[in-house]
Amino acid sequence: MADTKQADEQLDKRAEKQTARLAREMQAFAKSHGGSAEGQLAHIGRGRTRVALVGANGEWGNLVARSYEAAQKAAEKAGITLHDDFDGDLAAKVRTGRYEWSRMAGIQLGGPSND
């Protein structure tokens, strides 16, 4: 019984460290992309959650959390505003560059390969 309790405590400590690291990564993203960021959470399978972030300058990126709850806690700790969906106001803030446009057009129109 004591071994189980100790193992649970170790898992809890590990989960807290992972959540804290994710929060630091979110804060770093926000700091380097205009000072703030907003995000949206989405389940991606096997208990993992994608955190899509959009910085104040329109740059965007993704992080992966071990669970939806961990992603929520990390976002709260980092001061990230979360949206229910990645559409409307949040999607309008995303700034895409030449690379993204060429990749989208390339995929659709037989452009350069991924190689």
Read off the pTM: 0.80
pLDDT of 41 reads 97
Q: Please check the confidence at residue 2 and state whether its pLDDT lies above 70.
A: no
**Higher pLDDT among residues 28 and 11, named by residue:** 28
Distance from C-alpha of 96 to C-alpha of 3, rounded to nearest angstrom: 51
Q: Which residues does 34 contact at the CB level (< 8 Å), separation at least 6?
A: 55, 56, 57, 58, 59
Distance CA 35, CA 59 (A): 12
Q: Is the pLDDT of residue 114 over 70?
A: no
How many Å apart are CA 12 and CA 19, to the nearest integer? 10
pLDDT tens column, 71-94: 999 999 999 999 999 998 999 999
